[in-house]
Structure 1
Amino acid sequence: MTGAARRSAGLLLFRRSERGVEVLLGHMGGPFFARRDAGAWTVPKGEYEPGEAAWDAARREFEEELGLPPPDGEAVPLGEVTQTNGKVVTAWAVEADLDPSAMVPGTFTMEWPRGSGRVREFPELDRVEWLDLDRSRIVIVKAQAEFLDRLVEHSTGE
């Protein structure tokens, strides 16, 4: 093994509506995901360094990615999943309502098109939406679907 796995932490907001439980997911920005739907949605999250508490990183990354303060509320630990790229993601669910149109996304830069020498800026998340659980299971990064299952276990186990 050539070093520790990259780690990310995030917050999965959920709310109860007439459609049942809905979660707030973000569509990943940038050219790789522009025309993708399935597998292109994620819990708002970001990487953190060893020594930083995952909970603190989750709250910081929520604000960086959405441009909105993380909501207060009971944090329900959803544990960790390992994505196919090897990244370990830790998430917490927080019941809250948020207006997706208020989002001011953080950005990243990359050379695009590759090899062109042109560096462009892209939003970390190009949109966020409240999605019901059935739709969420179709579009979320495959490994993160486990967070949806754990959220359902929590919300039905109350």
Structure 2
Amino acid sequence: MTDKRSAGILVYRWTSGKVEVLLGHMGGPFWARKDEGAWSIPKGEYEPDEQAHAAAAREFTEELGLPVPEGEWLPLGEVTYGRSGGGRKTLTVWAIEGDLDPDTIVPGTFEMEWPPRSGRKAEFPEIDRAAWFDLPTAELKLGKGQRPYLATLAGVITPQ
């Protein structure tokens, strides 16, 4: 099985001299009652013929319903996570400084069979809410595979 490739954008801002990041809570019934480890950088999969940069912008807008903030794209690199032998994903992320209002998101949706084995399809938001978090809190909220990006971000931005 080949690894899946995803790309995303981690928006950050400065508040009282500390950096905060915008994360999305994963939508759907599996994540509804979870908090720690149930948040994500806005991201999505792309095909080999698409550029990661373009996919990151497309997925950001699809997941949040907002345009990518204007500004410099700071490369945060690639992280591969998941289980060997299947289910592995390589994620490429950029950081962009911006100050978006989480209350204005209009999430994209996905369809899945729900309840399981019912034969019925239901539609769910890709991200059911978004929020700003300081880096220590974001470390708890993010899924484990995405946490390395927080340290990378802290190392490439200049404190204000």
TM-score (norm. length: structure 2):
0.94
> Partners of 1:65 and 1:10 in 2: how far apart?
10
DSSP 3-state at the match of 2:63? helix
Match of 1:35 in 2: 33
> Partners of 1:38 and 1:19 in 2: how far apart?
25
DSSP 3-state at the match of 1:152? helix
* Matching residue within 25, 33, 55 for 2:23: 25
Whether contact under 8 Å (1:29, 1:124) holds in the other structure is yes
Gaps of 5+ in 1: none
> Partners of 2:92 and 2:55 in 1: how far apart?
10
- For 2:107, the aligned partner's letter is P
Whether contact under 8 Å (2:18, 2:159) holds in the other structure is no
Q: CA 1:35–1:69 in 2, change beyond 3 Å: closer, same or farther?
A: same
1:103-135 CA-partner distances (Å, limit 9, x unpaired): 000000000110111100000000000111111
1:19 to partner: Cα distance: 6.3
Moved over 4 A (4+): none
Whether contact under 8 Å (1:19, 1:132) holds in the other structure is no
Match of 2:142 in 1: 140
Match of 2:128 in 1: 126
* Matching residue within 87, 99, 102 for 2:101: 99
Whether contact under 8 Å (1:137, 1:145) holds in the other structure is yes
DSSP 3-state at the match of 1:27? strand
Count of residue pairs the alignment pairs up: 156
* Matching residue within 72, 75, 83 for 1:74: 72
> Partners of 1:115 and 1:145 in 2: how far apart?
33
> Partners of 2:97 and 2:159 in 1: how far apart?
15
Match of 1:64 in 2: 62
> Partners of 1:157 and 1:18 in 2: how far apart?
11
TM-score (norm. length: structure 1):
0.95
What root-mean-square deviation, in Å, do the aligned CA atoms of Structure 1 and Structure 2 show? Answer: 1.4
